[in-house]
Amino acid sequence: MKHIFKQGKKELPTLLLLHGTGGDERDLLPLAEMIAPEAAVLSVKGNVDENGMARYFARLREGVFDEEDLLFRTNELNEFIEESAIEYGFDRNNVVALGYSNGANIAASLMYHVEDALRGGILFHAMVPIRGVDLPDLSKVSVFVGAGKRDPLIPMEETKELIRNLQNAHSPVTEFWTEGGHELRREEVDEAKLWFGKKYQ
């Protein structure tokens, strides 16, 4: 997968950067710099092309995911992280996802499908990736969820369902709501920075 790796402090988690629809492997680098400037970064571009826009998995229409492709791409991304850990020498068991929108959804899918895929996650503007699956034990996987109360693409109840799913799998979840929409707001980035500092530094 097309990606950028940036070395960081070995004792910190490696940040897995996952962009939104239409983004690329450079999109979230400034965000990582704001939240955890000393952490190593593995920033990955989605392999799926939707009308010229990069995504991590296919969808049938807005808000309706191709579940077969979601599972395939989730496993593909997990394998890529494992290969990258060997190539770049970072700790595979110390990876925290930082995802926005489509990137947050594939990060959530990793949590839903692959035990120990992530040590934690910062999910900005995420939704339930799939229903009807049993989640692994996420008691050691801390998650920060940032969301907008007026998000036109993701109803509040959708994000709240995601949070409940994670909590039911025993994940310690921190949620932060802004008055905004689908855009990423500075206050949620600041809160994510505080959360990361408390959890990992």
Among residues 19, 43, 84, 151, the one annotated as catalytic is 151
Among residues 3, 69, 91, 182, the one annotated as catalytic is 182
Which residue(s) pair with 42 in the sheet?
5, 16
Among residues 84, 101, 142, 171, the one annotated as catalytic is 101
Residues 129, 108: Cα–Cα separation, whole Å:
7
| Lookup result for tokens 């990992």 | 200
158-164 own/partner pairs: CB under 8 Å, 24+ apart: 158/127, 158/128, 159/125, 159/126, 159/127, 161/128, 162/108, 162/123, 162/126, 162/127, 162/128
| Helical spans, DSSP H, in 36-120 | 67-88, 102-113
3 is catalytic: no
170 is catalytic: no
Closest CA to 130 of 59, 53, 24: 59
Closest CA to 96 of 114, 63, 121: 121
Q: Which residues are catalytic?
A: 101, 151, 182
